[in-house]
Structure 1
Amino acid sequence: MLDDRDRRILSLLQRDASIAIGDLAEKVSLSLSACSRRIQRLEAEGYIAGRVARLDRERMRLPTTVFALVKTAHHSAEWMENFHRAVADIPEIVEVHRLTGLYDYLLKIVLPRVEHYDVVYKALVRKAELFDVSASISMEALKEAGPLPVGYAQ
């Protein structure tokens, strides 16, 4: 069961996982050892799934985002396994969501420039048979993947 301090720790770590343990302990009014134990417990219980560094897309020369909506005529386990492998093998595809509605999948693709989308598209259709792909170029990111709300966790 999480308490308010646990939620505060999770919230602060989401914003900056590199925060010094002493600074974190001070912000949540805990001793260094008590804060460290809580973090270890939160990791052991699976609330903290891992820690990663967010890279600057401009510095990485990947400023362009394309969202591709994919329809398939196939829904067999074999086709899905093949599709999962195909998208996993293309590093520019950074997110894949299976959807309800008119389209089956939504792909988030990061690119050095919009013309590179054709390279990714050709790589994908070589690896997986698709019925339809419709792509849209993001003009501006108003809100990107940020911290999760911590109030729902128990």
Structure 2
Amino acid sequence: MSDLDLIDRKIVAELMRDATLPISQIAEKVGLSQTPCWKRIQKLEANGVLTGRVALANPSQLGLGIVVFVEIEAPNHSVEWREDFTRAVENLPEIMEAYRMAGDMDYLLRVAISSMEAFDLFYKRLTDAVPIKNVTSHFAMERIRFTTAYPIDTRNR
């Protein structure tokens, strides 16, 4: 991010807020004309700064209104177990995010499900796929804040 100038940071911030904005509006907001703005967006994509443009959906409207944070304690830390676990995570579509952690837990998963019965089936598929020492699940009661936009400094320095 340190290689990005102020205009690049502003472009990224605008696209994270709303990727459906026309180039003309993005260009106006960041102080460029359309062609240079479009070229910068293409460069940001080519350099891997922008990795995709997606539509965000309301999980409740999709019948996936239950969010569960699942802590995983690995039985060991072998390469084979990590590879098996990674494959299991990739094959369970309910897992929205997966992180290898430092501290008391080894992995943290964010899981989107429709019901307790669906979570039970998910749990069985996960634990059948790979041996796990311990699983602790935390059910979210309320989503207080959610964003996919990273906090980018768009101030001129």
Give TM-score, length-normalised by structure 1: 0.93
- The gaps in structure 1 that reach 5 residues or longer are none
Aligned residues: 152
Q: Please list, as runs of the form range in 1=range in 2, the aligned pairs for 1:42-61 lying within 5 A after superposition.
A: 42-61=44-63
Corresponding position: 1:147 with 2:149: yes
Match of 1:124 in 2: 126
Matches within 5 A, 1:51-90: 51-90=53-92
> How far did 1:83 drift?
0.5
Match of 2:35 in 1: 33
**Aligned-pair distance for 1:114?**
2.9
CA positional deviation for 1:107: 0.8
Residue 4 (structure 1) aligns with: 6
Alpha-carbon shift at residue 115 of structure 1 (Å):
3.0
Letter in 2 for 1:151: D
4+ runs of 1 displaced by more than 4 Å? none
Length-normalised TM-score, structure 2: 0.91
- Distance in 2, Cα, partners of 1:114 & 1:15: 33
Q: Which amino acid aligns with 1:10?
A: V
Could you say which residue in structure 2 is the equivalent of 1:133?
135
Aligned mates of 1:126, 1:151 — CA distance in 2: 45
- Cα distance in structure 2, aligned partners of 1:146 and 1:36: 22
* Cα distance in 2, alignment partners of residues 115 and 17 from structure 1: 36
Structure 1 residues 55, 12: closer, same or farther in 2, change over 3 A?
Answer: same
Identity of aligned residues (%): 39
State the Cα distance separating 1:109 from its structure 2 match: 0.5
Secondary structure, counterpart of 1:106 in structure 2: strand
Correspondence for 1:92 among 83, 91, 94: 94
Deviation at 1:144, TM superposition (A): 2.0
- Structure 2 segments unaligned to the other structure (5+ residues): none
